[in-house]
């Protein structure tokens, strides 16, 4: 990341030395015809029909019975100051540099899709759609759009804005190969019946067929009419009309320093059920503070309203329960246990490497990594041991498999099986031919380097050397994508999905080109495949077969059974050392920030994700006065463990 920044800086300086920008900036682009032509060129994909063509026997759903999100006590108003770790490099939500820490504020957490999963129930509640119906046989989802929905500039949202996304995300102009691929391979048809009725088809039927369609977000067709080969520069700093409650107004963006978002008083969904008690704060002031310790100081001064206390050092030491502000009740502490797919933090072993392709070496590594020590002493027992790479998927996760414990004897026995018997002068095991049992453990997580040094120290006991290599985030990711790693410490951020994916991480076609011959034996000439998420170079013929079955299966029961079998197979191969997960999030906030009675939601990933909190101005004044006079208020430290999954230690 940093590297890119510096290169960009260098280019900027070079560019500044050049002549004034060419005339091209003012070139007029209108892609209307190009888009229409594209629709015409792909008649199978873009269909145009009438309302009479909509099947009459559809089973419509509207999610209207789902409970409200947020509290009816919420009041609108106030300004909240939030920290940004880095200033966004663009206001685009797609294309180079767009996937940063700011994007959730204008896209992921704030803008509306057709429907959203209820954070407690997982069923869908309506967003831009009025109602929807799944036609199982045709693998098609019919959606009736809410006719009241408008963009923030007042333009109504119609079916055309949905057709448009299948042009936009497939063009080369946006320089986003992942989007190109996704929108080309995951959908097979979009049909326009009227301004407010569409249907979208997908290639495979799934238990959650609806999610792929309902989580689509439209694009303002009128705003993107200038998309062309200069898309990246042209849209770099333009704020797109949005379906979200928050707007970026002219002059509220101070480059490199802050961005102020304003609540849209005329937001079309402001009285809509599931939406009306959310997005309560009038102004969100996002300021750039790079160092976390400085953010904490700003929080303690009251400049920042909330501060995440996930890290033990903050929860226990920097803001202990005995802290004056906590003791006096000015700052409240909250600890919330959630239930959702757990990011699989652990060691991903590249089985394509020498030594690591031997199962006994991998089994030895499983027993030589002391995760329990990391959890007990570094995370102070707050985190839990991950047992498989797919924990947190309810019935889809394996119920009984458990990670192998740290055990020097067991590890050394496995290493001995691989021929590593004698210890060298430095205590590292060696083969008779002098091969040392040493591997590079790399990671792109600067903040977790201490974990790796702890593992390294403990692994020495079992006679294995870990050479710790801590890289910058981008460099670390590039390394594993190029499959240049021995062992990599990392995790995937899984979104809220019903069931785990196996194809991306364990299918042989993501590990090698032509991994197996026709009869299932290993192809001796296979070549490693880069740029995939199969970080273990995992290729087992049986696994491929199971994954194919899993992908074709459409009922939950079969899929659960298959998922368990695959987890067992993966466990047996020992190519992933499960690390830890945190089954909760923690927060410290000033007293004037108010939350609903339950605080957060079963499947939430963080306290602010659903924007249900609000600011009480009276309480703010009261708190500030009390603090000035040093008057104690009610001390509040609350633990919400109704959704706790792991038993208490």
Partner 1 sequence: MLALNPQTRKKLARFRKIRLGYYSFLCLSALIALLSVAELFVNSRALIVHYNDTLYFPTYGSFYPGTTFGQDYSYETNYRELATTFDNSDSDHWVLMPFVPYNPYENDAKGGIMRPEAPDFSAGHFLGTDTTSRDILARLVYGTRTALLFAFAFMCSVYLIGIVIGCAMGYLGGLFDLFFQRLIEIWSNIPFLYMVIIVFSVIPSAASIPVRIGILLSVMVLFSWTSMTYYMRTETYKEKSRDYVAAARVMGAGAPRIIFRHILPNVLSTLVTFMPFTVVSAISAITALDFLGFGLPVPTPSLGELLQQGTANLRTAPWIVTAAFGTLVIILSLVTFIGEAIRESFDPKQFTLYR
Site for partner 1 (CB under 8 A): which residue of 446, 548, 555, 557?
Answer: 446
How far apart (Å, rounded) are the C-alpha atoms in residues 73 and 594? 9
Helix (H, G, I), strand (E, B) or coil at 370: coil
* 454 Cβ neighbours under 8 A, 6+ residues apart: 370, 373, 374, 377, 378
Candidate list 402, 453, 495, 617; residue touching partner 1; CB under 8 A: 453
Tokens of 489: 């410490």
Residue 244 per-residue DSSP state: S
Q: Should residue 318 be labelled a site residue for partner 1 when binding is judged by CB under 8 A? A: yes
Stretch that binds partner 1, among 34-42, 105-113, 230-238, 311-319 (CB under 8 A): 311-319
Residue with tokens 């491929």: 544
Nearer to partner 1 by C-beta: 77 or 381? 381
- The residue range among 339-347, 384-392, 457-465, 638-646 that interacts with partner 1, by the rule CB under 8 A, is 457-465
Decide whether 392 or 476 has the Cβ nearer to partner 1: 476
Least separation in angstroms between residue 510's CB and partner 1 is 22
- Show contacts with partner 1 in window 351-390 (CB under 8 A): 376-378, 380
Residues 426-445 binding partner 1 (CB under 8 A) are 426-427, 440, 442
Kindly state whether residue 457 participates in binding partner 1, applying the rule CB under 8 A. yes
Confirm or reject binding of residue 460 to partner 1 (CB under 8 A): yes
Shortest distance (Å) from residue 364 CB to partner 1: 14
The region of 222-230, 425-433, 565-573, 617-625 touching partner 1 under the rule CB under 8 A is: 425-433
- 37 Cβ contact partners less than 8 Å away, ≥ 6 residues apart: none
Judged by CB, which is closer to partner 1: 89, or 449? Answer: 449
The closest alpha carbon to 512, from 502, 522, 499, belongs to 522
Which residue lies nearer to partner 1 by CB, 401 or 421? 421
- Least distance between partner 1 and beta carbon 229 (Å): 30
| Cβ-based nearer residue to partner 1, 320 or 520 | 320
Single residue of 61, 469, 536, 573 touching partner 1 by CB under 8 A: 469
Task: Choose between 227 and 471: whose C-beta lies nearer to partner 1.
Answer: 471
Per DSSP, the three-state class of 551 is: helix
The strand ranges marked E within 127-257 are: 129-135, 140-145, 189-194, 197-201, 246-254
Cβ closer to partner 1: 197 or 412?
Answer: 412
Element (H, E) at 439: strand 438-443
With binding defined as CB under 8 A, does residue 291 bind partner 1? yes
Q: Which is nearer to partner 1, 475 or 569 (by Cβ)?
A: 475
What distance lies between CA 80 and its chain's CA centroid? 24
143, 159 in Cβ contact below 8 A?
A: no
Query: Minimum CB separation from partner 1 for residue 375, in Å?
Result: 11
- Options 104-112, 286-294, 541-549, 553-561: segment touching partner 1 (CB under 8 A): 286-294
Confirm or reject binding of residue 238 to partner 1 (CB under 8 A): no
What number of CA atoms fall less than 13 Å from residue 22's CA on the CB side? Answer: 4
DSSP string, 62-103: --TTSPPSS-TT-----EEEEEESS--S-S-SSSTT-SSTTH
Q: Report, in Å, the least distance between residue 562 CB and partner 1.
A: 38
Residue 182 backbone dihedrals phi, psi, to 5 degrees? -60, -50
Contact present, 283 and 260 (Cβ < 8 Å)? yes
Q: By CB under 8 A, tell whether 290 contacts partner 1.
A: no
| Integer Cα distance of 111 and 217 in angstroms | 8
In whole angstroms, give the CA distance from residue 619 to residue 98: 38
Length of the chain: 649
CB of 381 to partner 1, least distance (A): 9
Binding residue (CB under 8 A) for partner 1 from 468, 496, 626, 633: 468
Q: Distance (Å, rounded) from C-alpha 649 to C-alpha 630?
A: 38
Give whichever of 10 and 64 is closer to partner 1, judged by the CB atom.
Answer: 10
Q: Does 450 bind partner 1 (CB under 8 A)?
A: yes
Residue choice 226, 282, 472, 497 for contact with partner 1 (CB under 8 A): 472
| DSSP label at residue 516 | B
If the CB atoms of residues 295 and 546 are measured against partner 1, the closer one turns out to be 295
Q: Could you give phi then psi for residue 130, rounded to 5 degrees?
A: -85, -50
Strand ranges for 112-173 from DSSP E: 115-117, 124-126, 129-135, 140-145
CB of 81 to partner 1, least distance (A): 21
E strands present in 245-367: 246-254, 258-263, 283-288, 306-308, 331-337, 346-349
Q: Return the H-helix or E-strand segment holding 466.
A: strand 465-470
**What is the CA angle 8-12-14, rounded to 5?**
115
Residues 472 and 464: beta-carbon distance below 8 Å:
no
Interface with partner 1 (CB under 8 A), residue total: 45
Q: Which residue in the set 212, 283, 413, 456 belongs to the binding site for partner 1 (CB under 8 A)? A: 456
Smallest distance from partner 1 to CB 216, Å = 37
Nearer to partner 1, 148 or 474 (CB): 474
**Which residues inside 98-157 make contact with partner 1, applying CB under 8 A?**
none
Q: Which positions lie near partner 1, rule CB under 8 A?
A: 2-3, 6-7, 291-293, 313, 316-318, 376-378, 380, 408, 412, 423, 425-427, 440, 442, 446, 449-450, 452-454, 456-457, 460-463, 467-472, 475, 479, 484, 486
């Amino acid at each position: 990341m940093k590297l890119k920044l510096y290169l960009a800086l260098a280019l900027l300086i070079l560019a500044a030395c050049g002549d004034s920008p060419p005339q091209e900036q003012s070139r007029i682009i209108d892609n209307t015809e190009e888009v229409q032509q594209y629709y015409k060129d792909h008649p199978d994909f873009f269909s145009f029909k009438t309302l009479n063509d909509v099947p009459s026997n559809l089973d419509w759903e509207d999610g209207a019975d789902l409970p409200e999100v947020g509290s009816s006590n919420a009041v609108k108003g106030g300004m909240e100051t939030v920290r940004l770790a880095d200033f966004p490099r663009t206001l685009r939500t797609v294309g180079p540099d767009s996937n940063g820490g700011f994007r959730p504020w204008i896209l992921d957490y704030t803008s509306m899709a057709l429907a959203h999963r209820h954070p407690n129930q997982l069923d869908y509640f309506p967003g831009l759609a009025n109602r929807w119906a799944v036609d199982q046989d045709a693998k098609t989802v019919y959606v009736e759009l809410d006719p009241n929905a408008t963009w923030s500039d007042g333009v109504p949202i119609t079916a055309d804005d949905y057709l448009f996304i299948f042009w936009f995300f497939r063009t080369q102009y946006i320089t986003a190969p992942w989007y190109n691929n996704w929108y080309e391979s995951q959908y097979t048809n979009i049909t326009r019946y009227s301004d407010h009725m569409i249907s979208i088809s997908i290639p495979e039927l799934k238990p959650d067929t609806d999610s792929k369609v309902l989580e689509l977000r439209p694009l303002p067709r009128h705003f993107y009419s200038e998309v062309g080969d200069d898309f990246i520069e042209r849209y770099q700093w333009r704020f797109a009309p949005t379906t979200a409650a928050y707007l970026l107004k002219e002059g509220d963006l101070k480059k490199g320093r802050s961005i102020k978002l304003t609540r849209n008083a005329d937001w079309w969904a402001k009285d809509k059920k599931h939406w009306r008690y959310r997005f309560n704060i009038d102004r969100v002031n996002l300021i750039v503070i790079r160092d976390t310790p400085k953010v904490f100081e700003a929080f303690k001064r009251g400049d920042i309203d909330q501060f995440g206390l996930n890290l033990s050092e903050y929860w226990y030491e920097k803001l202990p329960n005995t802290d004056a502000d906590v003791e006096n009740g000015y700052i409240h502490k909250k600890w919330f246990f959630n239930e959702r797919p757990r990011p699989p933090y652990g060691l991903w072993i590249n089985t394509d490497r020498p030594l690591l392709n031997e199962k006994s070496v991998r089994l030895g590594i499983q027993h030589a990594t002391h995760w329990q020590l990391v959890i007990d002493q570094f995370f102070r027992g707050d985190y839990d041991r991950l047992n498989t790479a797919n924990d947190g998927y309810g019935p889809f996760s394996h119920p009984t498999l458990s990670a192998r414990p740290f055990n020097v004897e067991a590890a050394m026995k496995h290493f001995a099986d691989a021929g590593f018997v004698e210890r060298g002068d430095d205590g590292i095991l060696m083969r008779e031919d002098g091969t040392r049992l040493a591997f590079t453990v790399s990671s792109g997580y600067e903040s977790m380097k201490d974990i790796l040094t702890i593992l390294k120290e403990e692994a020495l006991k079992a006679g294995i050397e870990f050479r710790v290599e801590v890289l910058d985030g981008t460099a670390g990711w590039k390394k594993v994508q190029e499959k240049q790693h021995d062992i990599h410490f990392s995790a995937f951020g899984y979104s809220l999905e019903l069931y785990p994916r196996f194809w991306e991480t364990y299918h042989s076609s993501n590990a090698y080109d032509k991994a197996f011959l026709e009869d299932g034996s290993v192809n001796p000439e296979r070549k490693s495949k880069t740029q995939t998420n199969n970080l273990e170079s995992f290729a087992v013929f049986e696994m491929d077969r199971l994954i194919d079955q899993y992908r074709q299966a459409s009922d939950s029961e079969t899929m659960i059974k298959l998922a368990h079998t695959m987890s067992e197979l993966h466990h047996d191969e020992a190519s992933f050392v499960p690390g830890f997960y945190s089954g909760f999030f923690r927060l410290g906030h000033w007293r004037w920030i108010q939350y609903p009675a339950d605080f957060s939601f079963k499947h939430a990933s963080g306290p602010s994700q659903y924007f249900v909190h609000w600011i009480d101005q009276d309480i703010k004044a009261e708190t500030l006065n009390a603090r000035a006079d040093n008057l104690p208020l009610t001390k509040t430290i609350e633990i919400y463990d109704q959704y706790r999954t792991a038993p208490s230690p």
